[in-house]
Structure 1
Amino acid sequence: MNGNRRTLIGVVIAGVVIALACGQAAMDDEASAGAAQGSEAPMFEVDPFWPKPLPNHWLLGSTIGVGVDSRDHVFIIHRRASINAGTELGADADPPTSECCRAAPEVLEFDPEGNLVNSWGGPSDDYVWPASNHGITVDHMDNLWIGGNGPNDTHILKFSRDGQFLASYGQPEAGPEPDSHSETRFNRAAKVAFDAEANEAYVADGYGGRRVAVLDASTGTFKRYWGAYGNAPDDTPTRPYDPDAPLLQQFRTPVHCADPSLDGHVYVCDRANDRIQVFRTDGTYVDEVRIAPRTLGAGSTWDVAFSRDPEQKYMYVADGSNHRVYVVDRVSLEVLTSFGDGGRQPGLFIGVHSIATDSEGNVYTTETYEGKRIQKFVYMGVGPVSAENQGAPWPGGGR
């Protein structure tokens, strides 16, 4: 056979193969799009003008917690020490090198319109402030709870919403190394969440511990605790996470959230294991879901918040490694869609760390690492799912 003819036949065959492949890909895309359009999920638009600018040349450091009270006032907590003192805090230098900037107080309160209405926090003679504050949540009596994940943080602080100190739970003084069976000390608690009907506080304990601990929300009295799958917690060091290995029978630090739902379940962020485990409130294991299970390092399941409908139909999962928020059917644990991506523009994230919802269904996120901000995502109702990941949910449907 003539060499040129063989070449021509080869080109034709290759073209047919490519065409068939493209056609199949198009069919697959259409099938995927059709499947996505068959589902519905909450829709959001980022509000790029919320909150309003801070006064006094204030800056936020790594913003490590967010909570919403009964008035839809939004509270955040950040780490002042994480602001770069060498370049960003010229106003605090001695002598000042510029008019800007200063570290904001640790706790900031915003009204629903994004106005700053109060600020407070930090060390005091009345209590031991955590070496590394971590998480701020609002209980059913509008009190604020703050954890700490510093190397020696073994307690939780409780304040009124105007910053009045109320209580400290867990011994903050130096003592025996805490473990996941201690009933007097926590081990670098990440977050506290609440069961209003039972008047209980659920502690994700946390960065040193490997458990969920439950307290009386009024007195701080220790009530019960458990580990992964309802097992007794075990602090034995574990192998590095391997997505292809059998699932670990213990939580891997950090245990980053433990949020009870209205129907008597508790959703636990086993962050570095890329999973959320579901329990009954007595610690009985129910189910689990793996999210982005090939995520290494800091893991994918950083925090959860529930939609505000009576059934809490949806759960929002913050993923600070992949820089997005997943929208999940809370009961089936099916991931419906996600929004966000890595970036600094509104609607994108750098280390989305904590998440909360208000009574209108809006979502608030805070960012650690170099994100150092809070964002508001305005609830736009439930609509057809258009993409597996929506990217930045810009106003007016722009992307």
Structure 2
Amino acid sequence: MDDCIRCNKLLNIIEGKLPSCDRCEGNNQVIVFCCQCDGGEGAFLCEVCNTHHCRQYSEHRVAQLNIQPSSVIRKPWKMKEIANSRGEPWGVAVSKTNSLWAVADNTNHCVHVFDSSCDDQLVKTFGSRVGSEIDEFNSPEGVAFDDNNCLYVADCLNHRVQRIDLTSNTFLHHFGNKGNGNGQLDSPHGITTHNDRLYVADTENGRISVFCISSKTFYSTFGEQQLGKPHGIAVNNQAQLLVVDYKNHCVYIFTPQGDLVKKIGTESPGSEKGQLSYAYGIAVDLNGFIYVADSINHRVSVFDSDGNTTECFGSRGSDSGYFNMPCGIAVRGDMVYVSDRYNKRIQIFKQSGHDWYYSQSGHDWYYSQSGHDCQSDHDWYYSLLLICILVCSYYMEDICTWYTS
């Protein structure tokens, strides 16, 4: 363990790698501050350039770890474990009426459906090859459920949305075809449903296209004046439409009629608090909190209903709790599902209060509200080594004096 040099408070655990200063090219000459002493963010001070570095934006981070028992968290599902698939997961969605959830496997042109009540076992795969027939996909992106046990798939390069009845496992019909006219789509990505409406992020047309589900007809479009390349879309508990824009790096909130209510973000890419960088996915929970798959920042950014950043978690990497281009995101209760695209897996997180837990093989992970990091089993050895190094460094002068005497 190490003490905060400002308040002598005992820090919990420092990540296995020493924090390094980007400006000083990894000299690893740092002083560690605890979260409380650095405005709640946590930081380290490089002794070479005397620069403070915020934990979440440094290449190597200072992490707080608190092991907590839990038996309800599931290990991450990796796409290569399902039928030897090595595809890339994109959209992820959870059912509104049962325990099913679905993932669009973009490179294998199929959609997998799982059951969380059966330890997230695979129950059905739709599509098996690239094609344009009624039961085929070409780079599926977004997925969504309705209240009638139907699954919707944004069949991106077929420029349509397919509807599947999960009771009979049959393809019913599709919405849209390629073009920019009413009822036409161009490379649709995110989709969501609300009541009798299907909302489609019509990405290359730079708009939201709306269809009437029961009549299978086009209804309206909106967002042409604001949107660049809309990707993810969700509906909150006020029936407002939340759209994350990949090109404009922000979230737009619209009324059900398509009037702009609010914009969240800066319209320029960035990694500072409140900024997004080429974000793909979006979800909202029952309390109005907004979850964004902040893709190029390799994290999940969380905002309250007013658009204020409440927390972020994740950073780039392949270990549990890290991301490599998160694309899709969905929320069910206190569970958050994230499609980790280039790591070829889905990671499932659980929220308890404002703390994030993640589990793999029975080991539980803690994310502080302002923290981003996790630790795997082998990191304990590095942590022990780090502690020894810090202790020796602290007493080095006394050791040298004792030795020379």
TM-score of the superposition, structure 1-length normalised? 0.67
2:352 aligned partner: 380
> Residue 131 and residue 289 in structure 1: after superposition, are their counterparts in 2 closer, same or farther (change >3 A)?
same
Residue 143 (str. 1) matches residue 150 (str. 2): yes
1:220 aligned partner: 216
Deviations 1:57-78 (Å, cap 9, x if unpaired)?
5224011111111222221120
* Residue type at the aligned position of 2:335: N
Tell me by how many angstroms 1:185 deviates.
1.4
Aligned partners of 1:272 and 1:55: how far apart in 2? 33
Tell me by how many angstroms 1:34 deviates.
8.4
Q: For 1:59, what is the secondary structure of its paired residue?
A: coil
1:238-249 alignment runs, 5 A limit: none
Tell me by how many angstroms 1:221 deviates.
1.4
> Residue 386 and residue 285 in structure 1: after superposition, are their counterparts in 2 closer, same or farther (change >3 A)?
same
> Residue 378 and residue 127 in structure 1: after superposition, are their counterparts in 2 closer, same or farther (change >3 A)?
same
Tell me by how many angstroms 1:28 deviates.
10
Q: For 1:190, what is the secondary structure of its paired residue?
A: coil
Residue 133 (str. 1) matches residue 104 (str. 2): no
Residue 171 (str. 1) matches residue 177 (str. 2): yes
Aligned partners of 1:186 and 1:53: how far apart in 2? 28
1:301 aligned partner: 279
Residue 347 (str. 1) matches residue 321 (str. 2): yes
Aligned partners of 2:376 and 2:194: how far apart in 1? 34
* Residue type at the aligned position of 1:272: K
Deviations 1:284-313 (Å, cap 9, x if unpaired)?
1111011694349x9433111112x3xx33
Residue 251 (str. 1) matches residue 227 (str. 2): yes
Q: For 1:141, what is the secondary structure of its paired residue?
A: coil
1:155 aligned partner: 160
Tell me by how many angstroms 1:143 deviates.
0.9
Q: Percent identity?
A: 20
1:391 aligned partner: 373
Residue 90 of structure 2 contacts residue 328 of structure 2 at CA under 8 Å; is this kept in 1? yes
1:1-399 alignment runs, 5 A limit: 30=37, 32-33=39-40, 47=73, 49-51=75-77, 58-69=84-95, 70-81=97-108, 106-112=111-117, 113-122=119-128, 127=134, 129-150=136-157, 153-161=158-166, 163-171=169-177, 178-179=179-180, 182-196=181-195, 199-206=196-203, 208-227=204-223, 233=224, 250-253=226-229, 255-290=230-265, 293-295=268-270, 299-307=277-285, 309=286, 312-329=287-304, 331-358=305-332, 360-368=333-341, 370-382=342-354, 386-392=368-374
Q: For 1:157, what is the secondary structure of its paired residue?
A: strand
Deviations 1:101-137 (Å, cap 9, x if unpaired)?
xxxx542423332222222324578516332211111
TM-score of the superposition, structure 2-length normalised? 0.66
* Residue type at the aligned position of 1:224: S
Q: For 1:30, what is the secondary structure of its paired residue?
A: helix
* Residue type at the aligned position of 1:390: H
* Residue type at the aligned position of 1:391: D
Deviations 1:167-194 (Å, cap 9, x if unpaired)?
111136xxxxx12xx1131111102111
Residue 127 of structure 2 contacts residue 137 of structure 2 at CA under 8 Å; is this kept in 1? no
How well do the aligned residues superpose, as a CA RMSD in angstroms?
3.5
Tell me by how many angstroms 1:30 deviates.
2.8
Aligned length: 304
> Residue 54 and residue 336 in structure 1: after superposition, are their counterparts in 2 closer, same or farther (change >3 A)?
same
Residue 110 of structure 1 contacts residue 118 of structure 1 at CA under 8 Å; is this kept in 2? no
Tell me by how many angstroms 1:200 deviates.
0.9
Aligned partners of 1:121 and 1:110: how far apart in 2? 18
> Residue 116 and residue 185 in structure 1: after superposition, are their counterparts in 2 closer, same or farther (change >3 A)?
same
* Structure of greater relative contact order (alpha carbons < 8 Å, 6+ residues apart): 1
Q: For 2:237, what is the secondary structure of its paired residue?
A: coil
Aligned partners of 1:27 and 1:171: how far apart in 2? 55
Tell me by how many angstroms 1:80 deviates.
4.0
Aligned partners of 2:308 and 2:38: how far apart in 1? 18
> Residue 34 and residue 259 in structure 1: after superposition, are their counterparts in 2 closer, same or farther (change >3 A)?
closer
Residue 292 of structure 1 contacts residue 300 of structure 1 at CA under 8 Å; is this kept in 2? no
Residue 90 of structure 2 contacts residue 103 of structure 2 at CA under 8 Å; is this kept in 1? yes
> Residue 53 and residue 186 in structure 1: after superposition, are their counterparts in 2 closer, same or farther (change >3 A)?
closer
* Residue type at the aligned position of 2:104: I
* Residue type at the aligned position of 2:146: D
